[in-house]
């Protein structure tokens, strides 16, 4: 019974990373996650794209925050409906640089996507998939040239850490399951020897 339970847990751990990252975010490429904007520029934009690799439609909410409200979502919607197996639900983040910005100023921008889940009384949302970048004001000619990149399922480091934890859990579970039969077999052999030879005669 215990062995069957452990095998079930191992299978669940192996399947979890596959089902847990059906929702993904692609973002314009930024070296070291820093968007360098040239001094004198008052407006810029940054693009993200939502991915739904599941077989079912997903409804998500996109949230964001930034220092001094420097960034906002263009044509903001309360909810975004992602069709199955799609990767190109595009969202534009508008950046309005303060007029008094100086070279060297830095502003943090964060955004997150939450998938809606069924609740008893109202719409609830699952744990957010979050990302961030820094806006830095630089000299003329040093600004970032935006490039699109492929969809990234979640945060790369988070996936690596999660994978390592799952691997260690599977190894530990396997060792626990494989050790118990050996101990039982040893006890059985010892009992058999005692029955065969009996107690020592003095």
pLDDT at 46 over 60: yes
| pLDDT value of residue 42 | 94
| pLDDT value of residue 153 | 47
| pLDDT value of residue 169 | 73
Query: Which has the higher per-residue pLDDT, 185 or 86?
Result: 86
pLDDT digits (tens, 9 = 90+) for 98-142: 999 999 999 999 999 998 875 444 555 566 789 999 999 999 999
Please identify, in words, the CATH class of the domain defined by 22-153. mainly beta
- Domain range annotation of the chain: 1-21+154-192, 22-153
pLDDT digits (tens, 9 = 90+) for 169-197: 777 766 766 665 555 555 556 655 555 55
DSSP string of the chain? -HHHHHHHHHHHHHHHHHHHTSEEEEE-B-GGGEEEEETT--EEEEEEEEEE-SSS-EEEEEEEEEGGG-EEETT--S-EEEPTTEEEEEEEEEEE--TT--TT-EEEEEEEEEEEE--SSS-EE---EEEEEEEEEE-TT-----B----B-S-HHHHHHHHHHHHHHHHHHHHHHHHHHHHHHHHHHHHHHHHHH-SPP-
pLDDT at 80 over 60: yes
pLDDT digits (tens, 9 = 90+) for 150-159: 444 444 444 4
């Amino acid at each position: 019974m215990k062995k069957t339970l452990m095998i079930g847990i191992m299978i669940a751990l192996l399947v979890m990373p596959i089902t847990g990252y059906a929702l993904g975010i692609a973002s314009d490429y930024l070296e070291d996650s820093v968007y360098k904007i040239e001094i004198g520029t008052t407006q810029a934009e940054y693009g993200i794209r939502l991915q739904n690799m599941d077989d079912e439609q997903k409804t998500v909410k996109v949230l964001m925050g930034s220092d001094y409200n420097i960034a906002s979502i263009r044509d903001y919607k309360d909810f975004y409906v992602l069709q199955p197996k799609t990767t190109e639900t595009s969202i534009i983040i508008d950046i309005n640089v303060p007029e008094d910005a100086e070279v060297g100023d830095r502003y943090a921008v964060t955004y997150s996507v939450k998938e809606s889940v069924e609740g008893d009384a109202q719409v609830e949302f699952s744990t957010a998939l979050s990302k961030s970048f820094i806006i830095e004001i630089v000299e003329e000619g040093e600004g970032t040239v935006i490039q699109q990149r492929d969809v990234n399922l979640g945060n790369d480091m988070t996936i690596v850490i999660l994978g390592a934890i799952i691997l260690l859990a599977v190894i530990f579970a396997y060792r626990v399951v494989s050790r118990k039969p050996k101990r039982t077999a040893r006890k059985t052999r010892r009992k058999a020897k005692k029955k065969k030879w009996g107690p020592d005669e003095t």
